[in-house]
Amino acid sequence: MIRTGLTGYPLSHSLSPKLHEAAFAALSLHGEYLLYPVAPTETGGLARLTSRIRNGEILGLNVTIPHKQAIIALLDELTPSAQAIGAVNTLYMEDGKLVGDNTDAPGFHADLMRFLTNSISEKKALVMGAGGAARAVVYALLKDGWKVTLAVRRADISQAQALMESFKPQTGGSSMERVRLEAKDLGRLGNGIWLIVNATPIGMFPEVDSSPWPDHLLFPHGAAVYDLVYHPRQTRLVREAQAAGLQATTGLGMLVEQAVLSFACWTGQEVPREVMFVAVES
């Protein structure tokens, strides 16, 4: 029996078990994907889980909010991307060492490549948010040659500053721009933005009537909109961007891509993406 799963808190709305159970079934593997909720206040909870991976009881785990950074102290090694991003979402054993990887960045990039069919005049992106997912997105975009502007709320400024500092090696030392997530600042960016990414939870169930994009502000002409939120399937941001004639998608494809990559870390096998899409759509 291959035992894998997900730790984070809370985990009640996670789609990950559906994705991975469909993958085991499609590949005729005898496996299970369980939820291991660990409250942020639960002392020793993460250490107990990592020792179960070390002793072989659990083959590997996904890690989500709020443990993507805290788990790093319990690991032996990070992959280069997890190191650069400073957050981990996949754990596995390799040569007797407990390794942390980040499949969000390549998962986002793979789905972005599928999604972006418009011609892009300039690789200039606006990323809203500066948390763990934003770090993965910014890393993927910088590696792909994009110039990135971060849009954050006032409370995020130091988090954004830290993010920008840590990616200086990827930007060749040149600084990324940072603006406030407000109509005045976003309006000033004008039409030079070709990709807008929402990496905040704004618009996520149950706050489905919210959007990170300020009311009454026009979207940049010709931009594509990628909303990492995938619950609901159509967010207000995506609906409004499409109504304005823009190409827009929610983040279900990224969820599937990062799951395909995690599954491959554990089993060495690649799951057909359609299997996972069918599982979540049902």
Contact residues toward ligand NAP (CB under 6 A) are 65, 104, 129-134, 153, 155-156, 159, 181, 199-202, 204, 228-230, 251, 254-255, 258
Catalytic residue among 18, 68, 97, 123: 68
Please tell me whether the peptide bond between 232 and the residue prior to it is cis, using omega within 30 degrees of 0.
yes
Task: Give me 21's structure tokens.
Answer: 């159970």
Min CB(263)–ligand NAP separation in Å: 14
Q: How far is the CB of 116 from ligand NAP (least distance, A)?
A: 16
The neighbour count for residue 161, using CB atoms within 10 Å, is 14
Say what the alpha-carbon torsion angle 237, 243, 246, 251 is, to the nearest 10 degrees. 40
DSSP per residue over 158-211, as a string? HHHHHHHHHTTTTTTTPPPEEEESSHHHHHHHTT---EEEE-S-TT-TT-TT--
124 is written with which tokens?
């200039």
Tell me the closest approach of the beta carbon of residue 265 to ligand NAP, in angstroms: 16
Please indicate whether residue 68 is annotated as part of the active site. Answer: yes
Write down the least CB distance from residue 103 to ligand NAP, Å. Answer: 9
* Three-point CA angle 72, 169, 175, nearest 5°: 115
For the annotated catalytic residues, the residue numbers are: 68
